């Protein structure tokens, strides 16, 4: 899938953090966030940052549509802007992820949750094979969030890897595949942290077909498996999503960013 063909970014949630499209009402909070010294230190946003910059950003990225899926990070039940996360697909099965977190949303693990939600949607809706994360060396909070989300980040520092306002900076670089995301979910189960259901690759394939409204017979034909195998996978999906019906499972999967509706 090329960046031009990226579907609209939907609302995603894990029950604690929610990702929603940016809107004009977010402009004041985006401006405040971007004027925070830590945000200026660790990102490439314009500095000094003015309200006009936020307005231009929302005009370009708001509404959930466009080639670069972009969300406002919020913490339920409040829908106040708490940061931004976006995916930048390269058109060849990969994407870079970026984010910034508002001062009032820090310190509770929300960045890692936002990264997981965005990556899970990218793997499902965009069929991404890998997502790349990078941060300037020294940004320990971002490094912690990335590793907690499931990114594989070596200790090695890449010298002069990226440019910030005309100056080359040393960076940490990490990658995440669908398997990395699933492994991170399994590793954190013991900490009672909800990361979404631990679905197998085949269950995800079946779930995507369910989101398209396919019957068991059609799913079996599409995936080259028996109808009984499809029924077993559906049963496992319902159990893991704690759903009582196929439609309820699809709704839950949409909320978690595991699938997207056909367009």
Residue 261: predicted pLDDT? 64
Asked if 157 and 250 sit in the same domain, the reply is: no
Mean of per-residue pLDDT scores for the chain? 89
Asked if 24 and 116 sit in the same domain, the reply is: yes
| pTM of this structure | 0.72
Task: State mean pLDDT over 120-133.
Answer: 94
Asked if 189 and 224 sit in the same domain, the reply is: no
Can you list the pairs that 177-184 forms with residues at least 24 positions away whose Cβ atoms lie under 8 Å? 177/129, 177/130, 178/123, 178/129, 180/150, 180/151, 180/152, 181/116, 181/119, 181/120, 181/123, 181/149, 181/150, 183/150, 184/116, 184/148, 184/149, 184/150
Asked if 117 and 247 sit in the same domain, the reply is: no
Split at pLDDT 50, 70, 90, the class of 196 is low
Asked if 202 and 181 sit in the same domain, the reply is: no
Asked if 223 and 174 sit in the same domain, the reply is: no
Give the three-class secondary structure for 100: strand
CATH for 52: 3.40.630.30
Split at pLDDT 50, 70, 90, the class of 204 is confident
Residue 199: predicted pLDDT? 75
Asked if 87 and 171 sit in the same domain, the reply is: yes
Asked if 104 and 210 sit in the same domain, the reply is: no
What would the pLDDT profile of 29-72 be if each residue is shown by its tens digit? 999 999 999 999 999 999 999 999 999 999 999 988 788 999 99
Asked if 189 and 208 sit in the same domain, the reply is: no
The residue from 196, 224, 255 where one domain ends is: 196
Asked if 56 and 7 sit in the same domain, the reply is: yes
% of the chain with per-residue pLDDT over 70: 90
Q: Which of 153, 150, 164, 255 is nearest to 211 (CA)?
A: 255
What stretches of 19-67 show up as alpha helix (H) in DSSP? 27-34, 37-42, 51-61
Split at pLDDT 50, 70, 90, the class of 7 is confident
């Amino acid at each position: 899938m090329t960046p031009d063909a990226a579907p609209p970014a939907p609302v995603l949630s894990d029950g604690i953090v929610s990702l929603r499209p940016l809107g004009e009402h977010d402009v004041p909070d985006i401006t405040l966030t971007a004027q925070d010294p830590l945000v200026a230190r660790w990102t490439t946003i314009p500095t000094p940052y003015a309200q006009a910059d936020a307005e231009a950003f929302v005009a370009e990225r708001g509404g959930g549509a466009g080639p670069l899926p972009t969300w406002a990070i919020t913490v339920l039940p409040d829908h106040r802007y708490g940061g931004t996360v976006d995916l930048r697909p390269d058109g060849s099965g990969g994407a870079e992820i970026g984010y910034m977190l508002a001062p009032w949303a820090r310190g509770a693990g929300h960045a890692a949750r936002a990264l997981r939600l965005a990556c899970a949607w990218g793997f499902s809706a965009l069929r991404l094979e890998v997502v790349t994360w990078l941060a300037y060396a020294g940004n320990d909070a971002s490094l912690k969030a990335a590793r907690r989300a499931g990114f594989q980040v070596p200790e090695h520092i890449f010298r002069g890897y990226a440019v910030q306002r005309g100056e080359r900076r040393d960076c940490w670089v990490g990658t995440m595949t669908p398997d990395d995301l699933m492994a991170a979910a399994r590793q954190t189960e013991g900490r009672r942290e909800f990361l979404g259901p631990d679905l197998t690759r085949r269950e995800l394939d079946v779930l995507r077909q369910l989101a398209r409204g396919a019957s068991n017979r059609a799913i079996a034909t599409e995936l080259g498996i028996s109808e009984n195998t499809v029924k077993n996978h559906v049963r496992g999906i319902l159990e893991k999503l704690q759903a009582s019906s196929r439609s309820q499972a699809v709704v839950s999967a949409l909320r978690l960013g595991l699938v997207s509706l056909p367009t």
